[in-house]
């Protein structure tokens, strides 16, 4: 079976992406501990990988201050919708985060002989994050072709974004079809045991499950 | 003064690159502790930044096994020239290392409002490392343009490679002209206090100083 590396954050999008990738690939889940305030994400990512029966590779990054609401304890996480209609980049944007995560994933893929890297980005709901758009991933793939060992001969490593053009509702529907254990997923931008219910990400989740007509199960293993 | 982030490994190439960048930019040196066997590099990078009077940003990365002679304690560092003439990628190639380092540098640049990232890669001596070639850096610059916040409006962040087409001899000459304190630089692929004198990198250093007619000073502050 072909091998793939799947970026797993512990959220709904990456969980569904993992289960989509598993239909065709032997997957390794790549999880980052980069000091995110949402410690619940990290627990979820590991629970999900265990539930899915895939190997997990955890990378710890000790960063100096990164100037973003998701990391900085002095910046408050915005309540409600942070993705503004005027095209501004949201406060929850972490500078070059996907670039960093994908680079590590490519490194792991190269080491393990995997030729695919999956990421659960989707550009409809997050169109103002520059590193969630199709053109970014295409450009990243071009860069991989000239910058890795595989470029010398065999097939290059490729970034694959299976949910990029889905709405959050469609992602939830797809997850329900594939039997994704949503009880282990975490969406909140903050905290560890109980989602705040007020941040952009919590609001998106509630709306998506409602629109999809899927019951959002209670969070498991958080006591 | 314009701001720049400079990748500083502690070796001759990045030291000279830093001093070249300092002529035009207010620099922050970015140093990585990624478990490299050459602990001497890390000491050198910090000594160099101090000698140059620039700020230093240290990122610690805790990686799972990375399958490379420079990191893996079970793989021996090759003696003599590892860069083979037959176009093979050397054993000392760390998968996607420059991709990872540059991504962090872009993130730091974005956070600090810097528009330039300097890296001391040169393709003549290291032509078999895919991530040391001009086409890789050009491709990376294209990816930055679409993947960062600056892409939305202002000038994009750019990777600059001032020594890319120099020989090691020319780099040493340039460093001598700029007063680079070579007594703090570290070239060996291994160890901490005394360079092995036998690895590819040690041999390159000796040859370059000899060809340039520059006296290589003894390593300072290592007792």
pLDDT tens figures, B64-109: 655 545 555 555 655 655 444 445 555 556 788 899 999 999 998 9
Q: Given this model, what pLDDT does residue A75 score? A: 53
**What per-residue string of b and e applies to B189-216 under the rule 16 or more CB within 10 Å gives b?**
bbbeeebbeebbbbbbbeebbeebebeb
Please tell me the least confidently modeled range out of A209-213, B134-138, B170-174, B200-204: B200-204
Q: Beta-strand (E) ranges in B76-166?
A: 116-118, 158-160
Average pLDDT over residues A13-38: 93
> Whole-model pTM above 0.90?
no
Contact map slice: B 63-102 vs A, CB within 8 A: 63-67, 87, 89, 93-100, 102
A106 and B97: CB-CB below 8 Å?
Answer: no
pLDDT at B209 over 50: yes
How many C-beta neighbours within 10 Å does residue B142 have? Answer: 15
Q: Beta-strand (E) ranges in A43-192?
A: 55-62, 116-118, 158-160
Chain A residue closest in CA terms to B130: A147
**Min Cα separation B123/chain A (Å):** 13
- What whole-number distance in Å separates Cα of residue A220 and Cα of residue A44? 9
Residue A107 has its nearest CB partner, among B95, B107, B108, at: B95
Q: Given this model, what pLDDT does residue A61 score? A: 85
A131: which DSSP letter?
G
Give contacts of A104 with chain B, Cβ < 8 Å.
96, 100
Of A63 and B111, which is predicted with more confidence? B111
A148 and B139: CB-CB below 8 Å?
Answer: no
Give yes or no for A142 touching B (CB within 8 A). yes
- What whole-number distance in Å separates Cα of residue B6 and Cα of residue B161? 10
Average pLDDT over residues A46-59: 93
Coil, helix or strand at residue A96: coil
Greatest mean pLDDT among A64-68, A122-126, B36-40 lies in B36-40
Give contacts of A145 with chain B, Cβ < 8 Å.
139
**Min Cα separation A104/chain B (Å):** 6
A99 and B147: CB-CB below 8 Å?
Answer: yes
- What whole-number distance in Å separates Cα of residue B138 and Cα of residue A206? 43
Contact map slice: B 107-126 vs A, CB within 8 A: 107-108, 110-111
Yes or no: say if A218 and A183 are a contact pair by the CB < 8 Å rule.
Answer: yes
Residue B170 CB-density burial (10 A; 0-12 exposed, 13-18 middle, 19+ buried): middle
Q: Given this model, what pLDDT does residue B74 score? A: 56
A96 and B143: CB-CB below 8 Å?
Answer: no
**Min Cα separation B131/chain A (Å):** 5
Average pLDDT over residues B49-60: 92
Q: What digits encode the pLDDT tens for the residues A75-131?
A: 565 565 544 444 555 555 678 889 999 999 999 998 888 999 999 998 876 667 788
Of B63 and A119, which is predicted with more confidence? A119
**Min Cα separation A100/chain B (Å):** 5
Q: Given this model, what pLDDT does residue B88 score? A: 53
Give contacts of A61 with chain B, Cβ < 8 Å.
59-62
Q: What digits encode the pLDDT tens for the residues A178-204?
A: 999 999 999 888 777 888 888 888 898
Q: Beta-strand (E) ranges in chain A?
A: 2-7, 25-33, 55-62, 116-118, 158-160
- What whole-number distance in Å separates Cα of residue A216 and Cα of residue B10? 52
Yes or no: say if B152 and B110 are a contact pair by the CB < 8 Å rule.
Answer: no
Q: Given this model, what pLDDT does residue B220 score? A: 83
Q: Which helix (H) or strand (E) holds B169?
A: helix B168-178
A143 and B147: CB-CB below 8 Å?
Answer: no
Q: In what order do the strands lie in the sheet with A116-118?
A: A158-160, A116-118, A2-7, A25-33, A55-62, B55-62, B25-33, B2-7, B116-118, B158-160
Percent of the residues in chain B that have a pLDDT greater than 90, as a whole number: 52
Coil, helix or strand at residue B112: helix
Percent of the residues in chain B that have a pLDDT greater than 70, as a whole number: 82
Q: Given this model, what pLDDT does residue B188 score? A: 86
pLDDT at A8 over 90: yes
Instruction: Fold for A2-212, please state it.
Output: Rossmann fold (3.40.50)
Beta bridge partners of A5: A28, A117
Average pLDDT over residues B193-197: 86
CB neighbours of A41 closer than 8 A, spacing ≥ 6? A9, A10, A11, A186
Yes or no: say if A90 and A70 are a contact pair by the CB < 8 Å rule.
Answer: no
Contact map slice: B 179-218 vs A, CB within 8 A: none
- What whole-number distance in Å separates Cα of residue A170 and Cα of residue A164? 11
pLDDT grade for B49, boundaries at 50, 70 and 90: very high
pLDDT at B223 over 80: no
């Amino acid at each position: 079976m072909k091998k793939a590396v799947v970026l797993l954050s512990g959220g709904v999008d990456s969980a569904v992406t993992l289960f989509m990738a598993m239909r065709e690939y032997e997957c390794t889940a790549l999880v980052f501990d980069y000091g995110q305030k949402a410690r619940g994400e990290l627990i979820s990512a590991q629970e999900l990988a265990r539930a899915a029966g895939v190997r997990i590779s955890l990378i710890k990054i000790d960063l100096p201050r990164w100037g973003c609401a998701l990391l900085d304890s002095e910046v408050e996480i915005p309540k409600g919708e942070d993705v503004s209609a005027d095209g501004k980049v949201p406060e929850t944007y972490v500078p070059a985060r996907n670039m960093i995560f994908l680079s590590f994933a490519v490194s792991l893929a190269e080491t393990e002989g995997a030729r695919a890297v999956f990421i659960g980005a989707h550009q409809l709901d997050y169109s103002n994050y520059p590193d969630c758009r199709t053109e970014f991933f295409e450009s990243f793939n071009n860069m991989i072709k000239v910058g890795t060992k595989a470029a010398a001969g065999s097939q290059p490593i490729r970034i694959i974004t299976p949910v990029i053009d889905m709405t959050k509702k469609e992602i939830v529907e797809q997850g329900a079809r594939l039997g994704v254990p949503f009880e282990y997923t975490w969406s909140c931008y903050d905290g560890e045991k109980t989602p705040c219910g007020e941040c952009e990400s919590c609001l998106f989740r509630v709306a998506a499950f409602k629109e999809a007509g899927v019951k959002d199960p209670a969070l498991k293993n958080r006591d």
